[in-house]
Amino acid sequence: MVADSKRLQVDIPQGKAHSRPDAPAVDPTDLAMLALDDRGVIQNCSRTCEQVFGYRQDELAGRHVSTLLPQLEDTELVLEDRVNSRLAFLCHCAIPFHARPRDGNSFTSEIFINRLGRQSLVVLVCNLEEPA
């Protein structure tokens, strides 16, 4: 097993997590979807992603996912042809991540990451904050 030389740093922001009874209900149409290569470079995104983050698909294509999820900047997303086990664990535990849209008004999110084929990943981002 290859050791993860760069540790994923996660601060637990004060936001609502979906595992809590008072958490807002999630509509599947509110999930922003990103398709990444194994290095974390955005290949494609959903319309919801465009709406949530304020970037057009053509503006995101070719950028690293850390543009939107800064905590993933120094994280190896794939180790030994699988999603980094630490990252997968944090996602499984519903640990909140900071998300950074174009306007700079960061929000607390939950992410889900999975393999999509042999050389790509799919990331779903769910905003955990109540609408204003």
Q: What is the pLDDT along the chain (132 residues), one digit of tens a residue?
A: 344 445 555 454 444 444 445 555 555 557 999 999 999 999 999 999 999 999 999 999 999 999 999 999 999 999 999 999 999 999 999 899 999 999 999 999 999 999 988 889 999 999 998 776
Nearest by Cα to 55 from 65, 13, 131: 65
What's the number of domains the chain is made of?
Answer: 1
Judge if pTM exceeds 0.85.
Answer: no
Residue 113 lies in a domain: yes
Contacts for 39-43: CB closer than 8 Å, 24+ residues apart = 39/64, 39/77, 40/64, 40/65, 40/66, 40/72, 40/75, 40/77, 40/121, 41/65, 42/67, 43/120
Q: 89 is in which domain, residue-wise? A: 30-127
Contact 116, 82 (CB under 8 A): no
Residue 3 lies in a domain: no
